[in-house]
Amino acid sequence: MQSVNLVIFDCDGVIADSEVVSANLLAEGLLAYGIRIDADYVFRNFVGRSFPVVAGIIAERFGIALPPTFVSDYRAALREAFAEGLRTTPGLLDMLSQLACPACVASSSSAPRVANTLNILGLTDHFGANVFTASQVAHGKPAPDLFLLAASMMSMPPERCLVIEDSAAGIEAGLAAGMKVWRYAGGSHIADIARVRAETPADVPVLDNWDQFYLLAPELRA
């Protein structure tokens, strides 16, 4: 196994404990169009995918094309909700403070949303320009494009990258990119750790808190 020289973090559900808020707002917004789903449906079907992909899935499954205003209204509601109380996942900041190698963010969310999230969490300076989003590639997760872009921009071969993801789509993308992948299951949107472990590929470690990060890779601690 090649040593790890770059850690690529997903944003929502890994850095930011944001998925419950996002899912509830999406389910609430869809009610106006006669679409009744709950947060668990969002977690199982949409987490890790870009919003255009989500809108396409909704149109196909429910026969309803969402108007352009839905996206702007949803994002405005998210900004307001995040500003009121968004937090990092528990223990993230302590883990990041000890990380010995470079790190970046690769997210399916829009660039403005990721920038706003990192700003609220006080992590803008920590990652600097090393933030990449699905808007920069032709195919988002589960395609490997975004992770390959991140590795290229960070001048790191894929086999020396470690991806930290919470979603099935992100895990598939990281493996397709030829990278080492861990699944983070410590976000508040994951209630059934046993189910997550059961559905995760056997060669992908699952950690449900950041204290386990350096147990899995002590060589990455500064």
Q: Would you write out the chain's pLDDT as a tens digit for each of its 222 residues? A: 579 999 999 999 999 998 888 888 888 889 888 999 888 888 888 877 777 788 888 888 998 888 888 888 888 888 888 888 899 999 999 999 999 999 999 999 889 989 999 999 999 999 999 999 999 999 999 999 999 999 999 999 999 999 999 999 999 999 999 999 999 999 888 878 888 899 999 999 999 999 999 999 999 999
Q: Which fold has domain 19-85?
A: DNA polymerase; domain 1 (1.10.150)
Q: Which fold has domain 6-17+87-220?
A: Rossmann fold (3.40.50)
CB 201 within 8 A of CB 212: no
How confident is the model at residue 84, as a pLDDT? 86
How confident is the model at residue 187, as a pLDDT? 87
User: Exposure of 41 by Cβ count < 10 A (0-12 exposed, 13-18 middle, 19+ buried)?
Assistant: middle
CB 38 within 8 A of CB 103: no
Please tell me whether residue 139 adopts helix, strand or coil conformation. Answer: coil
Q: Which residues in the chain are classed under CATH 1.10.150.240?
A: 19-85
Q: Which residues in the chain are classed under CATH 3.40.50.1000?
A: 6-17+87-220
Contacts with 8 (C-beta within 8 Å, 6 or more apart), sequence order: 103, 104, 105, 106, 147, 150, 151, 161, 162, 163, 164, 174, 179
SS3 for 148-173, per residue? HHHHHHCCCCHHHEEEEECCHHHHHH
How confident is the model at residue 75, as a pLDDT? 84
| Cα of 29 vs its chain's centroid, Å | 21
For the entire predicted model, the pTM comes to 0.85
User: Token pair for residue 106?
Assistant: 């690769």
CB 48 within 8 A of CB 167: yes
| Cα of 89 vs its chain's centroid, Å | 12
CB 29 within 8 A of CB 73: yes
Amino acid at 185: A
Query: Left, alpha or beta for 182 (phi > 0: left; psi -120 to 50: alpha)?
Result: beta
User: Token pair for residue 121?
Assistant: 């969490």
